[in-house]
């Protein structure tokens, strides 16, 4: 492809032009505001409040930074599922529930969020109760450590937007491997940040299906049984999310049928 047609070649140069980064930052702020206004929720990130709570200094469980709605919709479009109504969508480090609210538009059977911090869990519960313009769906929010979560024996989509460091991710993957060994089923793992991708790459029970636009999508695989659908891997690119969340939690559960 000619260089002038390759967006990866000229986009960085455009971003370095005077004023462009400010426009990009403003567009993110407007996008966040419109999402909350349209759905009657609060999923925004108040970094000043998080600093008071000490979250940005936690190098294991990172501070709250919600995914951009357009990025969430893009990765969900790329998820190669034939029948989404057969799958439960689980968001690890679900925060105030933004990703679950977006996933609700995609026809999943059930939505579940795993959130360590009670303040974020409580706000997610309020959002699920009061949200507007969201498809009828079953929401569940669990206030617990992701490393303690037991994957249900059903078809799953597991989503990660860089919520915690590699030591927690390794524990989560070990739990998933044990679950697949006990009961093999179709499970998709979506990493919307490549930071912990090397752990998934080393997991024999997961096979890379898609790698592009900063996210990587894996699918469960077995030496005795292969899932039906496949998708050829693409070349990866980078993605950004600020690091930094704590590591003690009670296991409170809240369920909502909107």
User: Which tokens go with 238?
Assistant: 């980078």
Per-residue pLDDT in tens (0 to 9) along the chain, 258 residues: 454 555 556 666 666 677 777 877 788 889 999 999 999 999 988 777 767 766 567 666 767 789 999 999 999 999 999 899 999 999 999 999 999 999 999 999 999 999 999 999 999 999 999 999 888 778 899 999 999 999 999 999 999 998 888 899 999 999 999 999 999 999 999 999 888 899 999 999 999 999 988 899 999 998 544 444 444 343 333 333 433 333 333 444 454 554
Output the pTM of the full model.
Answer: 0.78
Pick the CATH number of 40-257 from 3.40.50.1170, 3.40.50.300, 3.40.50.150, 2.60.200.30: 3.40.50.150
């Amino acid at each position: 492809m000619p260089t002038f047609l390759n967006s990866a070649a000229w986009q960085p140069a455009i971003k370095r032009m005077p004023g462009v980064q400010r426009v990009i930052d403003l567009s993110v702020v407007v996008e966040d505001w419109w999402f909350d206004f349209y759905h009657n929720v609060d999923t925004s990130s108040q970094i000043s409040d998080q600093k008071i709570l000490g979250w940005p200094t936690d190098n294991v469980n990172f501070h709250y930074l919600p995914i951009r709605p357009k990025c969430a919709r893009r990765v969900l479009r790329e998820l190669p599922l034939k029948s989404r109504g057969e799958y439960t969508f689980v968001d690890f480090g679900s925060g105030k529930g933004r990703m679950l609210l977006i996933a609700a538009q995609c026809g999943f059977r059930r939505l579940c969020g795993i959130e360590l911090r009670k303040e974020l869990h409580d706000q997610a519960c309020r959002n699920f109760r009061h949200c507007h313009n969201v498809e009828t769906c079953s929401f569940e929010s669990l206030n617990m450590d992701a490393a303690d979560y037991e994957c249900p024996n059903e078809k799953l989509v597991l989503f990660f937007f860089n919520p915690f460091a590699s030591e927690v991710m390794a524990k989560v993957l070990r739990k998933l491997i044990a679950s697949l060994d006990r009961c093999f089923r179709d499970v998709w793992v979506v990493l919307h940040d490549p930071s912990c991708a090397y752990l998934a790459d080393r997991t024999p029970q997961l096979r890379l299906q898609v790698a592009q636009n900063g996210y990587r999508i894996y699918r469960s695989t077995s030496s005795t049984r292969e899932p039906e659908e496949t998708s050829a891997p693409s070349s990866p690119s980078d993605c950004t999310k600020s690091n930094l969340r704590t590591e003690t939690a009670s296991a409170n559960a809240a369920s909502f049928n909107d």
